Amino acid sequence: MTATTQPETRPDTTGGSSSPTRDIALVAAFAALISASAYVGAIPVGSAGVPITLQTLTVMLAGCILGPVRGFSAVTLYLALGAVGLPVFAEHSSGIGVFTGPSGGYLLSFPIAAALGGFLVAHVARERRTRALVVFACSIAASILVIHPLGILGMMLHFDVSFLEAAAWDMPFWLGDVVKTSLVAMIAAEVHRAFPQLLQRG
């Protein structure tokens, strides 16, 4: 009679990043967080009437914490929920028509910005992602390169105005972005300090 050999059980040291179920949960949680942030503030700014919300904060948190793939997925899920009719956009709006409105360029920029910010944190910053200043640089780069240009382009197309006029309407968002990016940097750096393997499959 032979003894049955029990398989060796090893603790999970990946910070949960290797679990597809956990990946899906994180994507869904951040999509919900972005939806909630659209209701905070929602103050229309300037002649374009594009509202200031906390969306850019949570969008960049998704990218900088989850990484490019999961961050992109979370923001895309959020946009899909709004597109099919759930009132998750600013001022409780929804539907495909929002993407052709004044804020359409900003909304369409969000998944790309999250992916770029996540890529920079995961593959450029690497072990330095626990430093808030480094995460700040990654996040603000995505905002400057993606969110503001596409937001300006969206207003140009919607209102049929020049680049300079649309850029002037975009200017009030810059100060708020610096503040929100600072919060993104502090939060994301602390998360990566506590869970260093979180971006293994980001």
Whole-number Å distance between alpha carbons of 170 and 107: 14
Tokens of 96: 């495909």
12 in any annotated domain: no
**66: domain range?**
20-194
4 in any annotated domain: no
25 in any annotated domain: yes
Instruction: Specify the length of the chain in residues.
Output: 202
The model's pTM is 0.86
CATH of the domain at 43: 1.10.1760.20
The rounded mean pLDDT for the chain is 88
44 in any annotated domain: yes
For 47-73, the pLDDT digits (tens) are 566 778 889 999 999 999 999 999 999
Q: Computed from CA positions of residues 118, 123, 124, 128, in that sequence, does the dihedral angle turn out positive or negative?
A: positive
6 in any annotated domain: no
For 8-46, the pLDDT digits (tens) are 444 444 444 458 999 999 999 999 999 999 887 656 665
Whole-number Å distance between alpha carbons of 113 and 23: 20
DSSP of 57-109, one letter per residue? HHHHHHHHHH-HHHHHHHHHHHHHHHHTT---SGGG--SGGGGGSTTHHHHHH
15 in any annotated domain: no
Instruction: Look up residue 91 and give its DSSP letter.
Output: G
Closest CA to 99 of 114, 80, 113, 118: 80
- Percent of the chain predicted with pLDDT > 90: 74
Between 4-13, 73-82, 193-202, the lowest mean confidence (pLDDT) is in 4-13
Whole-number Å distance between alpha carbons of 38 and 87: 10
Q: How many domains does the chain have?
A: 1
